[in-house]
A = this chain, B = another copy of it.
Amino acid sequence: MQPINIGICGLGTVGYGSYEVLKRNQEEISRRLGKRLCVSHIAALALKEGQDVDDVTITSDAMSVARDPAVNIVLELIGGTEFAYDLVLEAISNGKHVVTANKALIATYGNEIFKAARENNVIVGYEAAVAGGIPIIKVVREGLAANKINWLAGIINGTGNYILTEMQSKSRPFADVLKEAQDLGYAEADPTYDVEGIDAAHKLTILSALAFGTPLHLEKAYTEGISQITPEDLKYASELGYRIKHLGISSISEKGIDLRVHPTLIAKQALLAKVDGVMNAILMHGDAVGSTLYYGAGAGAEPTASAVVADVIDLVRRMDCLQEEPEQIPALGFQSGSLRGTRILPIEEIICAYYLRILVQDKVGVIADITEILGDNEISIDAMIQKDPDKSGQDHNAISVIIMTHEIQESVMNKAITELEALDAVTAKITRIRVAELDE
């Protein structure tokens, strides 16, 4: 039997991991698939120390792989959105199926890429773009296909979760832990994508489109990172029964879809709150199934390769049926003609509960002033604690007032915060962290 030829473009962590999984599990995969997969081509500038590939055509020209008539499937594992975009479109226009782990590419250019794939009758797999080895794309696109999805919330950036876990367990400041994560190789030299939530926004954009049947709307995602979180916030949240996790949240209501990435207080006893270190987990709620949770490694060579190779197996299973069923499994879970332009809510329109940390001069009447402003804005208080500030050079007359509110629209909270910050006794910018109640 003719093997299916795979061309791997990019031989970094994920590229080489995919090569190794395809080689090591070749027999197991053939037992499942009834066909043989063969890595026939690799595009890489140079092999790295310790990389060993044999019987493979190696080239430095990835475009030549995308054009080679002998290649059936192109794995785009180069990253970035410029060359990768050209490469994927070139492969598609040459009638090749594509698998990519590139969340930035799919979140940014997915709508065009999927359209090109439909026009050329090829499949683009991107399971590896979200949550590494957790087969979450398959779960939402197929496993939960009977449901109207109501909402999803996930820890979808391992680096950010590692940093928050370390800050929590060791009471260390953000900058220290980030430095350590960089030294350990868990964070990039430029950590912006991870710690400012951009990477998570890419992934959330993809999950949200799949869940709610819309095109990809990266530009409408609200994105807030974890760099402003302090060990004090983690400690006070804990005293109040919460953990702070960096979540991607998307839900649908009559008003529209919210699509937001930000630090979030969640109840300590929730399973999601117990997902620590570099692990990922996604909680997804469907109208029939209720809440379900999916947990695993969100990054790393072999977990990501697990998803890349699963996509390869999946598309080999389907590729001979594309003439019969061009949208057998649509790229975004819904038939392309059925995607809807549901409104994505601006952050000002979301409704949630809030944690506020307010540094105030310890004077008579200040608490009354604060509660009056909240009351005037119809923001009701769920819990309040007062704390002496830490000793690190802050004003020694100041105290921290921590307030948990009930649910209120974000625009109202913004107005109240502006009014609170205008009080004489309020000596610093108020810390505001959103709270999520997630049924498990």
Contact = CB atoms under 8 A, between A and B. Distances in A.
Contacts of A183: none
Contact of A329 (B287, B288, B295, B317): B317
Interface stretch (A31-39, A49-57, A368-376): A31-39
Decide if the interface of chain A is mainly helix, strand, loop or mixed: mixed
A71 interface: no
A134 B25 contact: no
Given A29-B145, A335-B34, A288 B303 contact: yes
A80 interface: no
A32 B318 CA distance: 17
B286 A306 contact: yes
A32 to B, nearest CB: 5
Nearest to A281: B293
A334 interface: yes
A293 B310 CA distance: 17
A438 interface: no
Interface string A105-146: 000000000000000000000010000111100110011111
A327 interface: yes
Question: Which of A30, A138, A288 has the most chain B CB atoms closer than 10 A to its own CB?
Answer: A288
A143 B138 contact: yes
Interface of A: 17, 21-22, 24-25, 28-34, 127, 132-135, 138-139, 142-148, 213, 271, 274-275, 281, 286-297, 300, 302-303, 305-310, 312-314, 317-318, 320-321, 324-325, 327-330, 333-335, 338, 440
